């Protein structure tokens, strides 16, 4: 990476506030996918520069931010990024613990806090935290052996979901058990890795809430968003104005923000059931279910994440109108018919087409829910 050097001190005459603002200008990001790309894009109007560490030769953030090419645990690269950046953040939670440890030693602002990453990368720690905070979860048990799995099935009942504790996303590393005889095959399928067994939640909707807490302690919450998945992959997200679960979702997200002294955007995914919300997982980062905020909210999740980690005032999380975000999986659709949809905004991530890959999204905005329903129906968007 050329032109990287530690931030030069400003002139001694500059007013203190201006000096602080000038010093907090360089954002270092671990990971260079679409989330880093959209963070960097949101930072440009704020006068921010971004650089990221990613081993991929085709990292899609490279068109809007400078890339340090290297492994996430490459000590020299991490030090280089840290020396250049004023603040470091992440676009994914599976950052190697050595990397977090090394960054912590640099006396640099690293947000969200390492504890939040550690908790959300491990489903057992995450569910344990939910329980400690009084946030409802599915019944769960730690699984380290086939015998423990059989015992947990007896206690929790069936159906149930066996999930690896770490490295699971988009439904990967998960097996649904429907009968007692499924235990052996499920245990083999996850190759005997540390896991948790969860009771199967029969939900009416999957929802998420995007919350943000600044380094100043200021907090804000976006409207509850309904999410539709297919084959474990998010397909459609739609924020709901005055959702009946808004209060509970905010209360749960706030408990997590406060307990972790969190800084940045945090996403909490929940199941809605007739008995109330049940927490599934957190993501300590901007999230796919919040992409609609770019056009659908007064301030996008990306801008608010940057504001939060820089200690700037947070922007309004209010809806501008109705919005729905549709993911483009595998390949981008032709741009012409999409832009012919009233209120459509096209986001290509510049990624090569590949089955199952998130390569872009588009958001449709409208003045009212009724108008949006009509557009989604007319253009067949809800079934994509």
What is the CA angle 238-242-244, rounded to 5?
95
Shortest distance in whole angstroms from residue 94 CB to ligand AMP: 13
**Which residues make Cβ contacts (< 8 Å) with residue 176, sequence separation at least 6?**
159, 160, 161, 162, 200
Minimum CB distance to ligand AMP smaller for 233 or for 384: 233
Shortest distance in whole angstroms from residue 346 CB to ligand AMP: 26
Q: In whole angstroms, give the CA distance from residue 270 to residue 209.
A: 8
Q: In whole angstroms, give the CA distance from residue 270 to residue 282.
A: 9
H or E segment to which residue 148 belongs: helix 146-156
Minimum CB distance to ligand AMP smaller for 138 or for 284: 138
Minimum CB distance to ligand AMP smaller for 175 or for 366: 175
Site pattern 136..175 for ligand AMP (x: CB under 6 A) = --x----------------------x------x--x----
- What's the start-to-end Cα distance of the chain, in Å? 40
Within residues 228-287, the interface with ligand AMP by CB under 6 A covers 229, 232, 269, 280-281
How big is the chain, counted in residues? 384
Peptide bond into 159 cis (omega under 30): yes
Which one of the spans 49-57, 101-109, 193-201, 210-218 is the region binding ligand AMP (CB under 6 A)? 193-201
* CB distance 51 to 28 below 8 Å: yes
**Residue whose entry in the numeric block shows the structure tokens 């908790």:** 119
Shortest distance in whole angstroms from residue 53 CB to ligand AMP: 25
Q: Please tell me the count of residues contacting ligand AMP according to CB under 6 A.
A: 13
Shortest distance in whole angstroms from residue 161 CB to ligand AMP: 5
Minimum CB distance to ligand AMP smaller for 280 or for 365: 280
Shortest distance in whole angstroms from residue 202 CB to ligand AMP: 7
Shortest distance in whole angstroms from residue 199 CB to ligand AMP: 6
The binder of ligand AMP chosen from 182, 198, 243, 303 (CB under 6 A): 198
* CB distance 14 to 22 below 8 Å: yes
Minimum CB distance to ligand AMP smaller for 61 or for 161: 161
HSE value, Cβ hemisphere, 13 Å, CA-based, for 354: 6
The binder of ligand AMP chosen from 200, 259, 273, 346 (CB under 6 A): 200
Q: In whole angstroms, give the CA distance from residue 28 to residue 357.
A: 25
Minimum CB distance to ligand AMP smaller for 175 or for 328: 175
Shortest distance in whole angstroms from residue 138 CB to ligand AMP: 4
**Sign (positive/negative) of CA torsion 254, 257, 261, 262?**
negative
H or E segment to which residue 207 belongs: strand 205-213
Minimum CB distance to ligand AMP smaller for 124 or for 310: 124
Rg (the chain; Cα; Å): 21
Within residues 100-139, the interface with ligand AMP by CB under 6 A covers 138
Q: In whole angstroms, give the CA distance from residue 139 to residue 192.
A: 21
The binder of ligand AMP chosen from 99, 162, 201, 308 (CB under 6 A): 201
Minimum CB distance to ligand AMP smaller for 64 or for 116: 116
* Token code pair at residue 353: 């087409």
**Residues at the site binding ligand AMP, with contacts judged by CB under 6 A:** 138, 161, 168, 171, 198, 200-201, 206, 229, 232, 269, 280-281
């Amino acid at each position: 990476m050329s032109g990287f050097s530690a931030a030069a001190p400003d002139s001694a005459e500059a007013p203190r506030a201006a000096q602080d603002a000038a010093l907090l200008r360089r954002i270092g990001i671990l990971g260079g996918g679409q989330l880093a790309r959209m963070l960097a894009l949101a930072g440009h109007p704020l006068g921010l520069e971004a650089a990221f560490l990613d081993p991929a030769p085709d990292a899609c953030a490279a068109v809007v931010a400078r890339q340090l090419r290297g492994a996430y645990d490459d000590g020299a690269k991490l030090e280089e990024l840290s020396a250049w950046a004023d603040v470091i953040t992440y676009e994914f939670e599976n950052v190697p613990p050595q990397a977090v440890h090394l960054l912590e030693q640099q006396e640099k602002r690293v947000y969200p806090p390492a504890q939040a990453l550690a908790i959300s990368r491990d489903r057992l720690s995450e569910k344990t935290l939910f329980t400690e905070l009084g946030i409802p979860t599915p019944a769960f048990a730690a699984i380290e052996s086939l015998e423990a799995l059989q015992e947990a099935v007896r206690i929790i009942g069936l159906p149930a979901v066996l999930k690896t504790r770490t490295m699971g996303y988009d439904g990967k590393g998960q097996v649904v058990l429907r009968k007692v005889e499924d235990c052996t095959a499920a245990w083999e399928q996850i190759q005997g890795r540390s896991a948790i067994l969860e009771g199967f939640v029969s939900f009416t909707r999957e929802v998420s809430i995007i919350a943000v807490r600044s380094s100043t302690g200021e907090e804000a919450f976006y409207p509850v968003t309904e999410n539709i998945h297919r084959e474990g992959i998010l397909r459609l997200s739609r924020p709901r104005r005055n959702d009946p679960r808004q209060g509970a979702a905010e209360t749960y997200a706030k408990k997590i923000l406060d307990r972790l002294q969190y800084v940045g955007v945090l996403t909490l995914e929940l199941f809605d059931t007739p008995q109330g919300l049940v927490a599934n997982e957190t993501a300590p980062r901007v999230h796919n279910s919040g992409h609609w905020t770019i056009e659908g909210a007064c301030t996008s999740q990306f801008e608010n994440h940057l504001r939060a980690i820089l200690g700037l005032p947070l922007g309004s999380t209010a809806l501008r109108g109705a919005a729905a975000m549709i993911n483009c999986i595998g390949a981008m659709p032709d741009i012409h018919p999409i832009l012919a949809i009233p209120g459509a905004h096209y986001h290509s991530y510049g990624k090569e087409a590949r089955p199952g890959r998130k390569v872009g999204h588009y958001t449709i905005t409208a003045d009212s829910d009724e108008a949006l329903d009509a557009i989604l129906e007319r253009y067949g968007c809800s079934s994509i």
